[in-house]
């Protein structure tokens, strides 16, 4: 399993990688679920509708408990990010991912690969998440209040002690600004590292059993290759829970950042 995604084909000169294909599939699945729930939902919910409503209620109540009335605009971001990431993570554990190949230029390329095992995807998610956080921070607290978080110009007075304290606060504000940029790196690498490493371990376990030579016992040759389909099971079960936890962590951190920066009380 390569670190970088591989190009399956090009479209109008743009490379279409296996993670891009998976991202499109995830989007189709999300749209399909929304269509089914909104089109065929009723007063007496079925299993799918009931599961969706439970997830909606949980995230909204969790967001409201932290952000209060601001949950109205924070919640859609939290829910969307969680749904996309959890589906991307879980889909990478399905049969066919990393096992269906096409041949391009004499090289075997996996047709499908988990979208969140691509650092480009997780960086894009983190960048969009933090961009939304700062957009709403400016919108709901005002540009002046937002700038004052990083450059405390409102505290500037023309006295020696006040000027010295201004530079101290300015230094602290610069550290705060750098920490906002670091959030993009920490969010993206946390998600990418957990998903990629998990899939790499599963792939390594399966490949190991496929490459083990048959064992000769009492004149009978016993192949261990069938174990390649069963040995990774417990690791896949662990990765299933990690997929949900990592999606929840990413979504909750986005909610926390947005709730903090859109409040004038901090």
* Most distant CA pair in the chain, distance: 94
The pLDDT score that the predictor gives to residue 155 is 58
Q: Which has the closest alpha carbon to 115: 232, 29, 14, 37?
A: 29
Q: How confident is the model over 11-31, as pLDDT tens digits?
A: 888 888 888 889 999 999 988
Gap between the Cα atoms of 173 and 157, Å rounded? 17
The pLDDT score that the predictor gives to residue 126 is 92
The pLDDT score that the predictor gives to residue 128 is 92
Q: Tell me the two tokens of residue 222.
A: 């016993």
**Reported confidence tier of residue 231, pLDDT bands at 50, 70, 90:** confident
Strongest mean pLDDT among 67-71, 75-79, 161-165? 75-79
The pLDDT score that the predictor gives to residue 135 is 92
Burial 41-55 (b: 16+ CB within 10 A, else e): eeeeeeeebeebeee
**Reported confidence tier of residue 8, pLDDT bands at 50, 70, 90:** confident
The pLDDT score that the predictor gives to residue 44 is 63
Residue 36 has pLDDT above 80, yes or no: no
Q: How confident is the model over 129-154, as pLDDT tens digits?
A: 999 998 998 888 888 888 877 776 66
Gap between the Cα atoms of 199 and 205, Å rounded? 10
Gap between the Cα atoms of 158 and 104, Å rounded? 69
The answer for residues whose C-beta is within 8 angstroms of residue 209's C-beta and 6 or more apart is 224, 225, 227, 228, 231
Gap between the Cα atoms of 60 and 31, Å rounded? 20
Q: What percent of the chain lies above the pLDDT cut of 90?
A: 11
pTM of the model: 0.83
The pLDDT score that the predictor gives to residue 179 is 82
The pLDDT score that the predictor gives to residue 226 is 72
Q: How confident is the model over 107-128, as pLDDT tens digits?
A: 778 888 888 988 999 999 999 9
Residue 258 has pLDDT above 60, yes or no: yes
The pLDDT score that the predictor gives to residue 148 is 78
Residue 160 has pLDDT above 80, yes or no: no
Burial zone of 211 (CB within 10 Å; 0-12 exposed, 13-18 middle, 19+ buried): exposed
Gap between the Cα atoms of 135 and 131, Å rounded? 6
Burial zone of 255 (CB within 10 Å; 0-12 exposed, 13-18 middle, 19+ buried): buried
Gap between the Cα atoms of 210 and 154, Å rounded? 67
Residue 68 has pLDDT above 70, yes or no: yes
Return mean pLDDT, the chain: 81
Residue 260 has pLDDT above 90, yes or no: no
CA distances from 65 to 68, 72, 259, 262 (A): 6, 12, 10, 15
Gap between the Cα atoms of 216 and 114, Å rounded? 38
Contact 197, 242 (CB under 8 A): no
Q: How confident is the model over 168-221, as pLDDT tens digits?
A: 767 777 787 788 888 888 889 999 988 888 888 888 887 787 777 677 666 666
Gap between the Cα atoms of 146 and 112, Å rounded? 42
């Amino acid at each position: 399993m390569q670190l970088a995604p591989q190009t399956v084909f090009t479209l109008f000169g743009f490379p279409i990688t296996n993670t891009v294909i998976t991202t499109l599939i995830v989007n189709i699945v999300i749209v399909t679920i929304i269509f089914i729930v909104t089109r065929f939902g009723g007063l007496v919910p079925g299993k799918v509708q009931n599961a969706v409503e439970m997830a909606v209620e949980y995230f909204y109540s969790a967001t409201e408990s932290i952000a209060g009335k601001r949950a109205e605009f924070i919640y859609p971001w939290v829910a969307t990010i969680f749904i996309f990431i959890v589906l991307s993570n879980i889909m990478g554990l399905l049969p066919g991912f990393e096992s269906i190949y096409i041949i391009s230029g004499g090289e075997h390329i996996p047709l499908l690969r988990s979208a969140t095992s691509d650092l480009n995807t997780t960086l894009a998610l983190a960048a969009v998440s933090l961009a939304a956080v700062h957009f709403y921070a400016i919108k709901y607290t005002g540009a002046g209040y937002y700038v004052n978080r990083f450059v405390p110009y409102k505290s500037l007075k023309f006295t020696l002690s006040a000027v010295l304290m201004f530079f101290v606060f300015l230094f602290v504000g610069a550290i705060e600004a750098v920490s906002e940029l670091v959030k993009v790196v920490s969010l993206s690498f946390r998600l990418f590292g957990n998903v990629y490493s998990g899939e790499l371990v599963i792939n390594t376990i399966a490949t190991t059993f496929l490459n083990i030579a048959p064992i000769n016992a009492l004149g009978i040759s016993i192949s261990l290759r069938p174990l390649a389909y069963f040995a990774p099971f417990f690791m896949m079960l662990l990765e299933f829970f990690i997929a949900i936890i990592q999606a929840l962590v990413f979504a909750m951190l986005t909610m926390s950042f947005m709730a903090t920066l859109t409040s004038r009380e901090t």
